[in-house]
Structure 1
Amino acid sequence: MSDLIPSYFLIIEEGDLEDLRSNIWIDDPVPAYLQAKDVTYDVDISYRGSYTRNFRKRSYRIVFIEPERYDGAREIHLNAEYRDPSLMRNKLSLDFFQDMGVLSPNSQHVNLIRNDSLKGVYLQLESVDDLFFKKRNLPSGPIYYAVNNNANFSLTREEKPKKSLLAGYKRMFGNESDDDFLHDFINKVNTTPPSKFYDEISQHLNMDTFLRWLVGAVCTMNNDGFTHNYALYRNSETSLFEILPWDYDATWGRKVDGGIMRYDYVPPGGKMNNQLCFLLPKVPELRKLYRDLLEETLETKFTINYLEDKVMSLHESLRPNVLLDPYKKRKIEIFDGEPEIIFQFIRDRSRYLREHLAKFN
């Protein structure tokens, strides 16, 4: 086994493994043992994801029981990254957001061995929970996951009124009373006139981190990332919401099914079914701030020069492990071609975004 990435050893009794497999759509966990960094943990394990549960290589949620913390976390996610031929788009994206100054989960690749059988390369993802913010010396606050496309900051979806302004959000941490703040924020997004929008919404949303998140989502081109695949956190000291990315494997020129996505698929201002993206061009202050930040990013971070070493370092560390991965080793030629696909996407996407910068003047 290659030492370039760590190995996790998962032990599940056969009866518990059968229970886990009996209904892949149930989130109820089964007991198991996980050995990591020479420590053996009692854990609960369950499948995670939506359509990805149908894949041969499935993703897992692991909750630590005894000891109850692993590297300061009570739970981790192990993503199979099954449809990403590079196995690295999610990590590359989340690291890119961190470089952009956006709160983003830490991640690392690991080899997973279950009951002495190699299951291949997985991406370990940090859970966005109260401990996520505690580790960063940030105040606690309510956390919401955007769990479906109703999480669009709008009063409607597909021109039909939503039953609730909180539709599409699942509160993961906080109290029921915290829902009032999110309800009030979404209501103000939809009722504040453009002339007052920046001043009013700045009292509820961290505008700087929102714009940085938007630039990151637009550059990496996560088609699902505008009404789904993000988390909201309300900083209890500033009283401002912040948006965090999540699940960014379908990026850098690949679709969710692994196929090629054209560099111009996502508009330069984001998807218009996100109400904040829809309103951005109508608000002069936001429009200018966004344009300046996008232009700066295209000059500095969204470049081959900035990203080449990151991509190649990831690729080189993964390759020996991909050669052993039972689900990927027969596709090593495709894996070897992925860096150039990512680099070509950066060239094409950057050129496309530059050509459209003028619309934000």
Structure 2
Amino acid sequence: MDSIAKLKEHFVKFKQRLETIKEEEELSTGQEYLETDEPFDDGHELIKEEYLLQVSCNNHLETSWTQTAILPFESCNMVPPSLMDDRDSLRKQVCVWFAQEHDLKGSQKELNAKLLSILKYLDWYEDNIFDYDNGSAVELEEFLKSNENDPNLKVILDLPRGESGVTVLHAVSRARTREAIRDRVDQAVDLLLKAGADPNAKNNEGATPLHYAAAIGNDKGVSSLLRAGANPSMCDRQGKTPQRVAIDDSHYNVAGLLLTKEQEELRKELYNIPVMPIFGSIRFTKTLKEFLDKHKSNPDLKVVLNIRSERDELEVLELARRIAYFDKAIGAEIRELFLKAGASCDVPYCIAEKERSLVL
């Protein structure tokens, strides 16, 4: 019941601000806004943008909130409002955080507002929309650098936010930032960690930033978190480790970064199978079949078969390709064995299948 009360409280606050926004819309009809000396309310403008965008998409924000926030449990077909959901875009979460009240002092409030103003443009708003008005990791870096000696910075970074009690690091670890897609590292996650954000902070469900990064297959974010001391063995309230979360969502690129001791031993056993040119390849095939048959019921096998190399190719398919240099037929057979055992077909090589008779 407490969560319902909090949800209604958030709804009332947003409804009040939306009423103000709608009044502004009515005033703007046939009129032009006059310039004023009033301070720019970044949070207000962000909520306004969210409202106008959803209205333009024929998804009336107020109507959907009325149906889902006030009576969220009266219909099995209804879902919690999107702006309350920590699975939404970072921009939408920031929209909620702007309206949320925390027990912060004056200087902390100012610092928090500045951080949120940067975060709101850090990710893509939608999968198919590229937002060129992006605060980017560059602005985040400048902000963190200029406040590195402020003791309030860590308070703001580790502040539990929203209904799920996530920190900024949780949200950014799960965001589709353009830096994470463009670069080899998740720059935003790196910057927050270097600024002192807690890599093992838990939300209300016991999930850490590592769980969040694993949930979307953010391998760069996972690598950054591990380097900063994130504990891959921590479980959420459902008893799931970050690797389990990654596997449940078929993100084996991440699962391979979070290998258990047993998985490491299985991987070692696989690559200890001797590979010799020419005649040795036939012997390798026989031994490989025995290995795969021996571990076919072991769930760790699929994790090991889907580990990626530095070239972002599956290690086992790289192995098959190397063998194919000496014997194409054996190489193709080995590749098929790995695929049937659970290795995922690499997209770049699948695309090339029409152009080459043998995909290596």
> Do Structure 1 and Structure 2 share a fold, with TM-score over 0.5?
no
Structure with the bigger percentage of strand: 1
Question: TM-score, normalization: structure 1?
Answer: 0.29
Greater CA radius of gyration, 1 or 2? 2
Normalising to structure 2: TM-score of the pair?
A: 0.29
